[in-house]
Amino acid sequence: MVKEMISPLTDLDEDNVVEVYEGDLILDDTYKAKPYCIYAATGGVVALGTETLYVLFSPAAVYTMYKKEMEKCQEFLQLSIPQHLQSDHYRHLYINIIGALELFLTELLESLVLGDRDNYTRFIKKAKFKVPLSELEESASDMQNTIHKAIHGINAHDLRTIGKVYKDVLCVDFPDYSALGRKIKTRHDFVHRNGYGVTNKTIDYIEVTSDMVRSLMETCNLFTHQLMVNLQQKIDKWNEVFHMIGISTD
């Protein structure tokens, strides 16, 4: 996983995290690519062998994907649905919205970890998994794949857990998520009990309304927007080299 490959070499700031090569840069199975780097060469850049190089989404692109998913949910919300199917329809939308939020949180974290050397280093040092990531430092491919699996293995609808990772690795606090956390608990009943909640030792069907879905969307949108604001300095750093060489990160 690398941020970008550039050929031919342009004017690049030596202080930025960039690998610069004179002549052709050939990436094969023996080459240890750094995930947070932009690779530039005076000649060409080519990848050989079995290893697949993956170019990260920018943080802005991750946010755009989330917003497009919300636009689709908004369209679904406006569909004309028979009365007897409305609650089921809204329940599925409710689940989809939480799923889009979870994907946003993990993809954004991965973008910022694998796209920035400082975040990458903190993740290796602070993340706690069964196999210490630092033991895989010698194998770039294993390291990147392990980080990818580790991030997407986080229970992203447990906002306390993933919020702690953001705090430890990105040094950024989550926005207040008390209201969102309550709504995610409702999602648990939708997914694991087919829409039935447990109260006072009885199970009761939760009638889902369009207002519940709209409220969830508003809460998620407010949370994601504020998180992007909180991360602005990190995102600016991620984009720094791209802006300098004229590549859009939108």
Q: Are 12 and 40 in contact (CB under 8 A)?
A: yes
Q: Who's near 77: CB < 8 A, 6+ residues apart?
A: 90, 93, 210, 213, 214
Q: What is the pLDDT of residues 35-45, one digit of tens each?
A: 666 665 555 55
Whether the predicted pLDDT of 210 surpasses 60: yes
Compute CA distances 15 → 35, 52, 159, 241, whole Å. 17, 28, 35, 10
Residue 72 predicted with pLDDT over 80: yes
Work out the mean pLDDT of the chain and round it to a whole number. Answer: 76
- Ranges of each domain in the chain: 4-47, 59-241
Give the pLDDT confidence of 171-188 residue by residue, as tens digits. Answer: 999 999 998 888 887 766
Provide the percentage of residues in the chain whose pLDDT is more than 90.
Answer: 34
Check residue 16 and give its pLDDT.
45
Cα–Cα distance between 62 and 103 in angstroms, integer?
9
Which tokens go with 229?
């604001």
* Residue 202: predicted pLDDT: 58
- Bridging pattern class, strands 196-199 and 202-205: antiparallel
pLDDT of 169 higher than 90 = yes
Q: Of the given ranges (28-42, 86-100, 166-180), which has the lowest mean pLDDT?
A: 28-42
The stretch 80-94 carries a mean pLDDT of: 87
Q: Report the C-alpha gap between 153 and 97 in whole angstroms.
A: 19
Residue 241, beta-bridge partner list: none
The residue among 33 and 209 whose pLDDT is bigger is: 209
Helix (H, G, I), strand (E, B) or coil at 249: coil
Q: Is the confidence at residue 12, as pLDDT, over 50?
A: no
pTM above 0.85, yes or no: no
Instruction: Give whichever of 137-141, 203-207, 246-250 has the largest mean pLDDT.
Output: 203-207
The count of other CB atoms within 10 Å of the CB of residue 180 is 21
